[in-house]
Amino acid sequence: MREGAKTPAAFGGEGWSGRTDSHREEIGRIWAPCGVSSEWAPLGAVLLHRPGGELASVKDPDGAQMLAPIDVGRAAAQHDALADAYRGAGVEVTLIEPEGLPPPNLLFVADLMFMTPEGVILGRPASNVRAGEERIVAKRLAGLGVPILRCLRGHGLFECADAAWLDSSTVLVAQGLRTNQEGAGQVTTALKELGVDVIHTTLLPGTMHLMGQLRIVDRDLAVVWRERMSQATLEILRNHGFHIVVAPDPEEAARGMATNFVTLGPRSVLMPGGNPATRAALVKAGIECRTVAVDEIARAAGAVGCMTGILRRAR
């Protein structure tokens, strides 16, 4: 550059405009509105996948990691009712709508995305049957303008239903069949970069996910399926200041997936219908319960919580 010449703005001269806002401050402006830092703040937006032809293609339910044959039309109708229930509660619903025939378990979106205050950590499912679902969800999230903070690498496995916010700076991550040590470690690293502490626990044998055993409904109130909950995890909750509501009927928890619900806001939940004892216990504890029938979808081994990818909660 010629001596004495004016430095162009592109090289830091007069007119240079430096970027000063943090990534988090740009969410809702440059990036789509999104973010979660608790399990109980009012729910704002969810991501769902309406099941269809991929379920009809399942000839061996056990081989697809499902429990029984599924009536595809009835399952789709129940999923429509779930989406309507969210809309009726004031929650924005976005569908994935992939091209072509997706893998059969794509409807269980909660396993594929763990939302943070600054974007999503993508899951990496443990079963070959579900391999690649994370790519479909990543494409949809990117199209929506949601930041993707981390994809797992190496042999890391993480299904996002194995993590839960205990408060705005603490996440509980469980290792078990669906999340291995390497995956939990990578998630821990990603969260620590956000200033979030991680507490680790393990699931009992025969347990699929943390989600089905633990649901947090307020900053000091948790619902647990006691028969599937380790004593160590219970102690973590109590040490963190949670009062515990125990699901009263193990049969409802197992067959009715009664604890597989989503918190709509403080002490307000959307839960699987047909679980009167559990609903009565939650109401007695001061929890408002909306219900939706998902018994056909439950034959695929999941319910309301499993189907719901959380995009946004109130800050």
Q: What is the pLDDT along the chain (315 residues), one digit of tens a residue?
A: 566 688 999 999 999 999 999 999 999 999 999 999 999 999 999 999 999 999 999 999 999 999 999 999 999 999 999 999 999 999 999 999 999 999 999 999 999 999 999 999 999 999 999 999 999 999 999 999 999 999 999 999 999 999 999 999 999 999 999 999 999 999 999 999 999 999 999 999 999 999 989 999 999 999 999 999 999 999 999 999 999 999 999 999 999 999 999 999 999 999 999 999 999 999 999 999 999 999 999 999 999 999 999 999 998
State the pLDDT at residue 134. Answer: 98
Query: Which sign, positive or negative, has the C-alpha torsion 35, 39, 45, 49?
Result: positive
Q: Are 103 and 75 in contact (CB under 8 A)?
A: no
Q: Edge-to-edge strands of the sheet including 288-292? A: 262-265, 268-272, 288-292
Q: Locate 46 and state its tokens.
A: 């969810």
Domains, the chain, in order of start with CATH, read: 30-313 (3.75.10.10)
Confidence (pTM): 0.96
Rounded to whole angstroms, the Cα distance separating 209 from 205 reads 11
State the pLDDT at residue 5. Answer: 83
State the pLDDT at residue 277. Answer: 98
State the pLDDT at residue 2. Answer: 62
Report CA 101 to chain centroid distance, whole Å.
23
Q: Are 265 and 311 in contact (CB under 8 A)?
A: no
State the pLDDT at residue 1. Answer: 53
- What does DSSP say about strands 119-122 and 262-265: parallel, antiparallel, or unpaired? unpaired
Q: Are 215 and 289 in contact (CB under 8 A)?
A: no
